[in-house]
Amino acid sequence: MLAKRIIPCLDVTLNEKGAMVVKGVEFVNLREAGDPVELAKRYDEEGADELVFLDITASPEGRRMMIDVIERTAEQVFIPFTVGGGIRSIDDINAILSAGADKVTINTSAVKNPELVREASEIFGSQCIVIAIDCRRNFDLSKGENVVTLEDGRKAWYEVVIYGGRKPTGIDAISWAKKVEELGAGEILLTSMNRDGTKLGYDIPITRAISEAVNIPVIASGGAGKPEHFYEGFVEGKADACLAASIFHYREISIAEVKEYLAERGIPVRW
């Protein structure tokens, strides 16, 4: 079994103070968590396997990426570094990779223009292209293609949302995951809005369903609150990596503690 990855996530926005890491619950009620460059450096030193940097307001605000912040962050980290938010074109991807990122993650623009995924993977290689799928439970079963049984026995399908969770698309998340794999994506970053920031654990039903539906790595995101949740994400959700934000930002638990917990239970991790 390949080593499982632990990935801190920096949700970054611009305010009067400049670039700032923030964290909310279900994509709203954001509160500040620190400077992105300083946090990135800390996570590199603390043993993170990779780092994800998401400019969460670039697409909704229709602005370009924070290239200067990406450059300064890349100078501080020596682990794989993925950047997303506001990517609209091949030129944007090239600019981000040139600024020091190892991969890009695309959500809104991939949904609006799926051919961007194919073109980007052909130019830069599938290993560089991560598709972010933000999704939310929808209980109107007449509209979904793939119905999933939830932990409480209810049935739902998961709808893809874009623009930072602001706009539902009517697209079934499992079908979209299969589609982006066909288009050449090398990895999927899956976030359940229903669990984001709740610390109730990853959304296992959709994580498992998508992990079983595709042959590319799936990163579970949304809901980590304790080490057990990472274990569940890997074992029950069948994820290849688990991403977390607030529990690391506010030092509720360390990356080392998570890895020790997993290793004690037979999950291979990198040291």
Alpha-carbon distance of 167 to 263, in angstroms, equals 39
Q: Is 134 a catalytic residue?
A: yes
Place of tokens 């980007």: 120
Alpha-carbon distance of 90 to 87, in angstroms, equals 8
The active-site residue out of 35, 92, 134, 203 is 134
Strands 218-221 and 129-138 turn out to be unpaired
The active-site residue out of 11, 92, 172, 196 is 11
Q: Is 102 a catalytic residue?
A: no
CA 238 from chain centre, in angstroms, equals 16
Alpha-carbon distance of 162 to 96, in angstroms, equals 21
Q: How does 125-159 read in b/e, with b if 16+ C-beta sit within 10 Å? A: ebebbbbbbbbbbbeeeeebebebeeeeeeebbbb
Evaluate whether 187 touches 217 at the Cβ level (below 8 Å): yes
Residues annotated as part of the active site:
11, 134
